[in-house]
Structures are given as structure tokens and as C-alpha cells.
Structure 1
Amino acid sequence: MAGKSGGDTRQSPDPRLHKIVLIDQVTSDSWCEGVALRPNGNVLLGKIEEPELLVLDLATAPPPANEFDSIKPRLFHKFQEASGTFGLCALRGTEREEYAVSTAVSDPANGQFSKWTVWRVTMPPEDSDDGPEISEIATLPDARFLAGMVALSERTLATADANRGCVWRIDIPTGQVSVIIEDDAMGAAESGEIGYFGVNRVRFTEKFGWASNTGSGFVYRFPIQWDDDGLDLKAVGPPEEIASGLDNSDGLTLLPDGSAAYICSYTSGHLWRLDMEGEGGAGKAEVVELRRDLVSPTVMELIYRDKREKPTLYVVCCGTVAADSFDGDRRYWLELAKLDKAKLQITVTVTTEVTYEYI
């Protein structure tokens, strides 16, 4: 292994960032598409190939005995009615520490995904040995492949559907599901190496929604309008291409003012910054390469800590070693991306609507 294992932290090559932290404790045969940084400094992770919510005790565990040891993730919760964990984000405006997690019954090797569900995970008190409280927020019977998820407000979630090419809206109090935007540009590519995945990540600022398309390598913005109370939004225009050539992209995140975004490639190991002329800037973004040595980077988060003006960029990856040194077998995940959509089996379940009220 090249470099130090177990959370590589180094000075940022980007003057906009405080530093870049690599969350590299996952094994090389794992695929994490959900990450959340807890207030106590620990990290929550979700694995596509297992219905597990993991925790990395980065803040509370003793440091490794030597630089080649690693803090191992520990199982925090296993979803009994699922086989994979996908999107993960912190909920807003809650009295307790709470998260939303999406799961599915899945067979990745054969491209079969069904029974998509979004759950509320309420964390136990810090001094408690209890497990989390789990309750259902919504089911999405028409979803095909849920990817990145974000909380728009205390009432609303948004999650990308990488195969259908849309962004779903989820009303948290009622569990009602609707579409924010659906466009051919955001769908899975019809040709090329990556044919299954389309829009993978979605982020929002005051004026725009941002979306990355894994299959095409494009990044889009679309204009949005928030409602009067700021709890929900709607798309008011089509997607506009602002960057291209970002093959097999993942992990889209951006500065709050929309002046720059960060995106990585899980096959080439690149980390890029996309510069805009402010949030209202028109035209294409300038793409700046920050790193090219990451192994399978997937999900990222920008976190402001300790009242610093600059955020820290956390990147989930398998370290900085060469791709041919994997000690596990991740080939079936890459093969999934090449599946013929005509052969894809997606189970759609018709359900009755259930309304949940939280007091």
C-alpha cells in the first residue's frame, strides 16, 4: 500500500478548502454511496452490497497502534427487509440527531433492484448503549436505482434516480413521493462504457439544482424556485450542461454559494473542482484537476468545522494505491454499469398509500 492507511489527511491543493480528508477505511471490495459526518466527529457509511449502516469511530476510538493499522468500521444497524444501503443524509430541523437512509432488495450482479424504501434513523443519546430508532418515511415503488439523497428542508428530501433519469421529491411528514425534474439529459447513457447509470448526485442552492450524470460524464444545472416558506422547490427550466468529460463521475458536492463544485471519478481516481462565476454565472464551468491518485472515490461531503471559514472535503475511497492492487473483487460493480438496459429486471410493486404523521 502506498502512503498511510486509516484516514489520510493532507493539506488541500485547493485554496478554497481547509483540507481534504480521505475516509479510506473501507475494504476494496466494498462500495459506499452514502456518508454522513456526525456532530461528534464520527462517520456513518452505507454499503450497496450489504443492508448495513456502519460507523467509523474517528473521533472517539483510540488511534491506530502504527501508521499501517486502520480503524475498522463497526456495524451500527442492519436493515432486515433489504439487501443494500444506498443514499444517506442528515435530516434538518430535528430535535435529536436523525438521518434518512434509502435501501433496496437488490441483486447487483444481475442488475435487479426492487422495494426501495427511505427510513428515518434516530440516534441514541451519546451515553446510551441502545441502538438507533428506525421508522419508515416512504416507499418508492416506481424507483429504479436511487443514488445520492439530500435534505432540502426539515420537510422535504430529494434523491436522484440513476436509471430513470429523474430527481424524486419525498415529503417527510406524509411519505408522499413526486418528481422534481425528469429529463432525457439526466438519464442513463445509451452507449459507451457506462450504460446503466445516469444522474447520480444532486445538490441544491438558492437558484439552481446541480446534477451529475455518471454514464455521460456531464454535469448539469437547472433553475429552481423555492416556495414562500422555503421548505420545498420546483424546477422552472431544463438542465443546462456546464461541464463534460468527467467520466464515471460520483460524489458531487458544492460550496453553499454555488461558486464551485467538487466531483470525483470512481474509475480514474480523479478529483476535480468546477469553477463558476458565482451562482448566477452563465456558460460552462472551468474544470480544475486537484488529484488523480485516489482509488475508487465515491461519495463526498463538505463540512464546516470549528467556525472555520473554509470547509473540509471528506472523500470516501479505498486509499491511494494503484487500481490493480485491490485485495477484493469489485469487477461485478463495473459490469453492472455496462448492463444492457433491455435485460435489466426491475420489480415494480403496487402499494396502498400510507400517511405518517410525526408529532
Structure 2
Amino acid sequence: MSRLPRLAGVTAAVLALGLLTTAPAAGGEPTVSDPRVVAHFDFAKGQTPENIALEPDGSADLTFFFARKVVNVTREGIKRSIATLPAVANPDTPVIGAAVVTGIARAYDGTLYVNYATGTRKTGIWRIARDGSAPRQIAKLPSDGFPNGLALDERRGVLYSADSVRGTVWRVPIKDGKPEAWATGPELEPGTGPDAAGVGVNGLRFHHNAVWVSNSDAGTLLRIPVRENGSAGAIRTKATGLTGIDDFGFAERHRDTVLAALVTANQVVRVRPNGTHAVVLTGDDGLSNPTAVAVRGRTAYVTSAAYFTQEDPNLLLARVHQRARG
């Protein structure tokens, strides 16, 4: 039986509510314009794009949350299947119930790594090689956890995985796949109030020798520095009041400026280094519950999974450029 009729209910449980504060655009900061949807997907088939990794040719590798697939989409919208994660008998993923593919990271040699949450021993990080062979599990993570955002520090040879229900960032060496609870703390944990969805740390990016994460229940963006010995530094809050924050990307020409997907608010916001933020894309631009943002040069890629609208999951591209100082 298809799990798709449950989409609205289960996704409501994995997202948090908060307050959105905005501020006028300042001179010299990045702006987003010319949004265009380049690919549409089939919601009824579970083609709900959750996360993004970019290829050197400008195409995007996307995870399909409920379909358990990884697909490549060109800038012109041409789609190609890359891999399907194996089906799991009686999945029991916390919060969701279904087996789902979440975060994705790409190595320089083209190897892809994805998080697979199942509620079974198959929960963990899986490798997708360039040779077309079947995906292979390289790390087991707790079956009662929910691995979500994923990033690769290739210099150190480690992956970082955000566990949304255990409030943990796992550090996993690629060579041996042995996970270490790298960062924990109340800033990463799910909320406990009446409006909490039970989902804490969610999106994750490795940026300028730090692990940046979002906390969906708290509506926060956090930075965790990586010390010289590889251990986690103190967790610092970079922004608050981000409604339903999921994953995010960095505007490359602006050191710590973030473009974040607010899935419940149906918006993408620009988060400045000082923590203030402003809306740059909305449903009028083609968003349909955005889940992730990636930036390459002057192009922003935004996935929309349509978890709540249940209409038009898609991939949107937009131009990122610098506003002239007045």
C-alpha cells in the first residue's frame, strides 16, 4: 500500500513553527531574482525532493524522500535516475514510520553519500559509487534515530550527519564508518512544548571549518566550529525566529550569508551574518514547501517537496547577485 496518503500528516510531525523577523535589504549584500522552475515532479509517486548536491556541470543530484531515490536533474530540467535505496520490510522510522532518503553529499571524485532513515539496521549512511553499482551501507546509525542533513569534510575524510530526534551531530570517518556522537546539547534537541514537532537538528552544511545546522523545533541556525583536533567547539546561535527552517546554503561570494528554506512558511529567506533575515522567494515564485537550498556561483537551486500543498514538487533556479551600495 502506498504511504503517500499519509504525507501531510507525517511531514507535519517533522517540522517546527516559529516567528519570522525581517529587515530591509542592505547595500552590498546578495539579492535573489529571476526565479524559474526547471523541473516538475510527481507527488503521487513519492517524488518529493528533500536535499541537493551539485555536480561540476551545474546539474543537481536530488534525494526523493518517500520514493527512496536519487536522481540527477540538469539546468534544462532533464531527469536521470541514479540509484534507488533498498526497500525495508516493516520500516519503523521515528516520527515518520516510512523508510526515507534525506541528506546527500558529493565527494570530489563523484561518489555520493546519502542518509537513509528506516527504523531498522539499514538506518545509516549509504555510498553510491560512480560505476552504477548498487548503493552500499558504509555506516550504521541508531535505528531509533532520524539521520537528516549530511555534509562531507573531504580534507579530514569525515561525514557529519544530523540526527533530528536524538539531538546529535554524528561524525563518521569514511574509511571505517564508525560513528561518534560529535556534538550534543540542548541547542540541538527537539522541542518539548505543545507546538513542537519532535524534530531538532535538521539541515547541515560544512562551511569554513565549521558545521552549521538548523533546528526545526527551535527555528534557529547554529554554528559549531571544528577544532584542530577534530572535536566540536562551542555551539553558537547565529539566527533565531526562522519559521519551519529545513536545509540551507551559503551565498558563495558572501562569507556567512545564508539562503534558508522555510518549508512551513513556503519561503526562502536571506539570513545575514548578524542574524537578521528577509524573505527573497515565496510561493508566487514557484515554491511549494521548499526543503533545501544550494548555491553555485550566481545560481541558487531550491527544492520544493510539496509536503503540505501536495501540488507541484519541483526544482527552482534563481539568480544570486550583489546589490550595489547606494
TM-score of the two chains, using structure 1 as the length reference: 0.66
Alignment-derived partner of residue 55 in structure 1: 72
Would the aligned equivalents of 1:41 and 1:59 in 2 still touch at CA under 8 Å?
Answer: no
Alignment-derived partner of residue 102 in structure 1: 115
With over 3 angstroms needed to count, the CA separation of the structure-2 counterparts of 1:143 and 1:201, relative to structure 1, is farther
- Decide which moves more: 20-29 or 181-190: 20-29
Alignment-derived partner of residue 326 in structure 1: 311
Alignment-derived partner of residue 115 in structure 1: 122
Aligned partner (choices 236, 243, 246) of residue 233 of structure 2: 236
> C-alpha root-mean-square deviation of aligned residues, in Å?
2.9
Would the aligned equivalents of 2:49 and 2:305 in 1 still touch at CA under 8 Å?
Answer: no
Q: Does 2:283 align with 1:286? A: no
CA distance in 2, matches of 1:218, 1:312: 25
Would the aligned equivalents of 2:197 and 2:217 in 1 still touch at CA under 8 Å?
Answer: yes
Identity %: 21
- Give the superposition deviation at 1:190: 0.8
Aligned partner (choices 17, 22, 25) of residue 40 of structure 2: 25
Q: What secondary structure sits across from 2:291 in the alignment? A: coil
CA distance in 2, matches of 1:318, 1:80: 21
With over 3 angstroms needed to count, the CA separation of the structure-2 counterparts of 1:174 and 1:248, relative to structure 1, is same
Alignment-derived partner of residue 22 in structure 2: none
Alignment-derived partner of residue 250 in structure 1: 246
With over 3 angstroms needed to count, the CA separation of the structure-2 counterparts of 1:89 and 1:23, relative to structure 1, is farther
Alignment-derived partner of residue 41 in structure 1: 58
Q: Does 2:303 align with 1:302? A: no
CA distance in 2, matches of 1:324, 1:205: 32
Alignment-derived partner of residue 164 in structure 2: 162
Q: Does 2:118 align with 1:89? A: no
Q: What secondary structure sits across from 2:197 in the alignment? A: coil
Higher relative contact order (CA 8 A, sep 6+): 2
Q: Does 2:77 align with 1:76? A: no
- Decide which moves more: 77-86 or 182-191: 77-86
With over 3 angstroms needed to count, the CA separation of the structure-2 counterparts of 1:32 and 1:255, relative to structure 1, is same
Deviation string 1:190-214 (CA, Å, 9 cap, x unpaired) is 1243422111112233354321111
CA distance in 2, matches of 1:90, 1:324: 30
- Decide which moves more: 34-43 or 115-124: 34-43
CA distance in 2, matches of 1:183, 1:164: 10
Counterpart residue identity of residue 38, structure 1: E
The size of the alignment, in residue pairs, is 268
Matches within 5 A, 1:94-243: 94=109, 97-105=110-118, 115-124=122-131, 131-132=132-133, 134-141=135-142, 144-154=145-155, 155-206=157-208, 208-227=210-229, 233-237=230-234, 239-243=235-239
- Decide which moves more: 214-223 or 200-209: 200-209
- Give the superposition deviation at 1:264: 1.6
Q: Does 2:266 align with 1:269? A: yes
- Give the superposition deviation at 1:241: 2.2
- Give the superposition deviation at 1:98: 0.9
Larger Rg: 1
With over 3 angstroms needed to count, the CA separation of the structure-2 counterparts of 1:324 and 1:118, relative to structure 1, is closer
User: For structure 2, which runs of at least 5 residues remain unmatched after alignment?
Assistant: 1-24, 89-98, 314-326
User: For structure 1, which runs of at least 5 residues remain unmatched after alignment?
Assistant: 1-12, 62-72, 107-112, 125-130, 228-232, 277-283, 305-310, 329-359
- Give the superposition deviation at 1:141: 2.7
Q: What secondary structure sits across from 1:215 in the alignment? A: coil
Would the aligned equivalents of 2:30 and 2:251 in 1 still touch at CA under 8 Å?
Answer: no
Deviation string 1:125-181 (CA, Å, 9 cap, x unpaired) is xxxxxx345333211136611111011125110011111111110100111110221
CA distance in 2, matches of 1:325, 1:139: 32
Deviation string 1:288-345 (CA, Å, 9 cap, x unpaired) is 22122221100121113xxxxxx311001168xxx757379xxxxxxxxxxxxxxxxx
Q: What secondary structure sits across from 1:299 in the alignment? A: strand
With over 3 angstroms needed to count, the CA separation of the structure-2 counterparts of 1:20 and 1:149, relative to structure 1, is farther
Deviation string 1:242-291 (CA, Å, 9 cap, x unpaired) is 22221111122224564211112112111111111xxxxxxx41212212
With over 3 angstroms needed to count, the CA separation of the structure-2 counterparts of 1:18 and 1:312, relative to structure 1, is farther
CA distance in 2, matches of 1:143, 1:23: 37
With over 3 angstroms needed to count, the CA separation of the structure-2 counterparts of 1:18 and 1:123, relative to structure 1, is farther
